[in-house]
Chains A and B, each alone.
Chain A
Amino acid sequence: MNPSPPASGSDAAPPQANSVLGVLGRVLLVFVLLGGFLVAIQCMGGSIKLMGKGTSESLFQGIANPFAALAVGILATVLVQSSSTTTSMIVALVGSGELEVQQAVPMIMGANIGTTVTNTLVSIGHVRQSAAFRRAFAAATVHDFFNLLCVGLLLPLELMTGFLSKTAIALTDVVAGSSGAEYKSPIKAAVKQGYTAILDLLKSMGLEGTPLAIVVLLVGIGLTFLCLVLITKNMRKLIAGPLEEALNRSLGRSGLIGIGIGILVTIAVQSSSITTSLLVPLCAAGILSLENAFPLMLGANIGTTVTALLASAATDSTAGLTIALVHAFFNLVGTALFYPVRRLRMIPIRLAEGLAERASQNPGWVLAYVGGAFVLIPLLGMWIFEGAG
């Protein structure tokens, strides 16, 4: 007999110390991290104020043009690999009054586009197996095509009519009083204390003026990123079991269930990329069809807007809530436009399948697509439209 540790069945799974205490500990940690996240938002908003009006005006002059702003949203998200971080930053800036809601709308839309590069990179892992790669790449890019179609349709509409921002302002008035007014957030006092503590610490180190503002901004960005990453990590461990059960049940089920699961999972892990990147290997293996993965992705798009809504609770004015609501409405309207009618729903799916077919025959298409859609075109857009108000 060749003694070895049992390799099969239940004994092979390492025992998880996810006891009741462990679960409670993780939940507590998540709440602490959420608090840190809100303090980080306050830091970002506060840092712009510390810079002084002249500095902030010149900072955002370049993105007065909506297409430049869109490009900035895409690039920022591609850089940090997190739409939640970018949208939180945007909410902080709008909430601090340094960025107008109308200026920020295209940036929020750009963040939606930039976040999908993560999936594309995940799909490249299957490039050696033609059929699996074709399925994986299609699963990664269907999200991109949906976002691009939504921006292509809704950005011009928004620029012409302001329907997203006007609806968001109206809802903000109902929920929190006049949009732009000082926001009497119930947790604002606690968040403000955290921000003040950081500010006092940095001042005690001799920092003041613009250097202080820059350091506070960097602290804010870094803390946002760190808290979101840790929240995602912990929540993923907490919900792994129910997530697996939900995915097992949702295979081949109605789209509305998929959308619901996508929303709930993304709210839980606070990351649309985690949700959608889980779908890529499932599609690659062929056990989840593209048509069934699509509603899960739409749900992830909607679920991720909760992060921006959470961030708005830490902002000084209700404008932060307004832009967060714009983000939510953009995704809800996009889903409502493209999902219910099958013919429309199949547009991003067919586009993704077409690109995947080309990419599986010639992987150069992948480089062209990633480089073009997420780097070159946004950079060109910024360069061409920067300063064009």
Chain B
Amino acid sequence: MHWLQKLGPQSRNLEAINANFLQMLEDGRHIFDAAANALVGGTDPTVIREDLFKTDQRINQTEQSIRREIVIHGTIHGAGTFPALLVLMSLVKDAERIGDYCKNIYELASLRPPLGTTEEVQELIELKDQISKLIVRARAIYQSQDEDAATNLIQETGELGKVLDAKIEQGVMAQDQNRSGLVLAYRYFKRVSSHTGNIVTSIIMPLDKLDYFDEPGG
């Protein structure tokens, strides 16, 4: 952060709100790892259940806390702060959705569905690792506000999304009825990856085009 940006009470309070948001992302990474490991990493879902639901609860409470802080910040500092605060409102929703989809992953893992062939399971493991690293990178990029890194990450999540869409379509159209678990896994992974990408669109996209990086400009 530039030293000028550290001046002023407004910056200090926004920093506090941002710090809470970064903690949401850290919790999101943690909950994704736990849930995905339960799905494809061999972890017993019952062992991680309590920690996973506590983390999700913490994510939800942090979202509510940030929303309150946003309202107070806007009330005190006035209309000039609204763009930044509106962005934050959108971002905490993305972070909260990551937590929700990770719960879905966990619920899928608890059903212990067949997840396709050995190669497909291995692919899921690699996807798990890739997405976990994406969340970590997104957190770091948001903290540093690095526009080039943001663009790269958005492109990566965009491409990943296309790959997963193709796999979902393949799975849905397959005659093999045991594909439902695999299709859901791809779907949930895709949503986690997309919400992660959405977060860093805030660094390079104007407010009205948040999350719409891949659509033609207008």
**A contact set with B: CB distance below 8 Å:** 1-4, 6-19, 239-245, 247-248, 251, 278, 281-282, 285, 287
Contacts and interface: CB of A to CB of B under 8 A. Distances in A.
A7 B71 contact: no
Given A2-B204, A13-B8, A244-B9, 4 more contacts: A8-B84, A16-B8, A241-B9, A248-B69
Nearest to B91: A8
B67 A9 contact: no
Given A2-B209, A251-B68, A242 B84 contact: no
A78 to B, nearest CB: 24
A1 B15 CA distance: 27
B68 A9 contact: no
Contacts of A6: 145, 147, 202-204
A281 B217 CA distance: 35
Interface of B: 1-2, 4-5, 7-15, 18, 21, 67-69, 71-73, 75-77, 80-81, 83-84, 87-88, 91, 142, 145, 147, 151, 202-207, 209-210, 217
Contacts of B202: 6-9
A244 B73 CA distance: 6
A248 B10 CA distance: 14
A243 B145 contact: no
- Residue among B1, B8, B12, B202 with most chain A CB within 10 A: B8
Contacts of B151: 1
Contacts of B21: 9
B54 to A, nearest CB: 22
A4 B145 contact: no
Contact of A10 (B9, B11, B73): B11
A17 B6 CA distance: 10
Contacts of A3: 204
A379 B63 CA distance: 50
Contacts of A7: 83-84, 87, 202-203, 205-207, 210
Contacts of A16: 7-11
B87 A8 contact: yes
A243 B11 CA distance: 14
Nearest to A237: B9
Contacts of A285: 71
B204 A13 contact: no
A259 B209 CA distance: 43
B71 A282 contact: yes
